[in-house]
């Protein structure tokens, strides 16, 4: 799964996505160009040193996630917006079958289908993961909660925080959490 910069930027969403990858639900992929975009935007918000630490940790922990999409740029369909071609090229380089992005209007599914790719919002992707492996998603939410101390957050609060970016996932996760409480 290729992660677009817009899903790596928000910390809670990124944390959940990467923890699900660490749990073995999927293999994340990105490029230096995608991470550079995150660095620029995140650095403006939290400062360059903090943004660099976060991205360096991602690079080190997921060493095989970085892919150079440059050789695949010529294979990207012309129907795609020029600013997003590098994301699709990264997906092709990494042999991903899905691009996870909040910018679905810039990546029409009928266009990506020409190269065997699907596009999913973070909500669609997380909902699929929660449907496929609810016990893993619940475990990961609990682990996130246990690791957060400043400020501490319950799994329910984490899910509530994701409700803007992933409302359907948040609804399902809330139901799953309610069942085990």
pLDDT at 82: 82
**Statement to judge: residues 84 and 163 lie in one domain:** no
**Statement to judge: residues 87 and 111 lie in one domain:** yes
**Statement to judge: residues 77 and 163 lie in one domain:** no
The whole domain housing 163 covers 126-180
**Statement to judge: residues 141 and 74 lie in one domain:** no
Q: Which of 120, 153, 170 is the last residue of a domain?
A: 120
Q: Which of 104, 120, 136 is the last residue of a domain?
A: 120
DSSP bridge pairs for 118: 98
What is the domain count for the chain? Answer: 2
**Statement to judge: residues 148 and 166 lie in one domain:** yes
Per-residue pLDDT tens, the chain, 181 aa: give them: 999 999 999 999 999 999 999 999 999 999 999 999 999 999 999 999 999 999 999 999 999 999 999 999 999 999 987 889 999 999 999 999 999 999 999 999 999 999 999 999 999 999 999 999 999 999 999 999 999 998 999 999 999 999 999 999 999 999 999 997 6
Q: Could you give the C-alpha distances from 101 to 7, 54, 177, in angstroms and in order?
A: 6, 20, 26
User: What pTM, to 2 d.p., does this model score?
Assistant: 0.95
**Statement to judge: residues 6 and 86 lie in one domain:** yes
**Statement to judge: residues 147 and 88 lie in one domain:** no
**Statement to judge: residues 161 and 101 lie in one domain:** no
Cα 49 from Cα 55, distance rounded (Å): 10
Cα 150 from Cα 102, distance rounded (Å): 27
Tell me the Ramachandran region of residue 24: left when phi exceeds 0, alpha when psi lies from -120 to 50, beta otherwise. Answer: left
pLDDT at 180: 79
pLDDT at 81: 78
pLDDT at 181: 66
**Statement to judge: residues 154 and 107 lie in one domain:** no
């Amino acid at each position: 799964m290729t992660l677009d910069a817009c899903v790596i930027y928000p910390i809670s969403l990124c944390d959940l996505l990467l923890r699900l990858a660490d749990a073995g639900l999927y293999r994340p992929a990105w490029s230096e160009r995608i991470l550079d975009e995150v660095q620029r935007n995140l650095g403006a918000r939290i400062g360059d040193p903090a943004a660099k630490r976060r991205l360096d940790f991602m690079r080190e922990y997921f060493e095989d996630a970085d892919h150079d999409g440059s050789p695949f740029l010529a294979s990207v369909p012309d129907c795609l917006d020029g600013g997003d071609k590098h994301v699709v090229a990264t997906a092709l380089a990494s042999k991903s079958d899905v691009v996870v992005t909040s910018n679905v209007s810039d990546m029409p599914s009928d266009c990506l289908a020409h190269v065997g790719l699907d596009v999913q919002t973070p909500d669609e992707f997380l909902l699929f993961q929660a449907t496929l492996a609810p016990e893993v998603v619940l475990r990961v939410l609990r682990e996130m909660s246990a690791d957060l101390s400043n400020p501490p957050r319950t799994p329910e609060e984490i899910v509530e925080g994701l409700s803007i970016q992933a409302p359907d996932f948040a609804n399902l996760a809330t139901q799953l959490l309610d069942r085990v409480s």
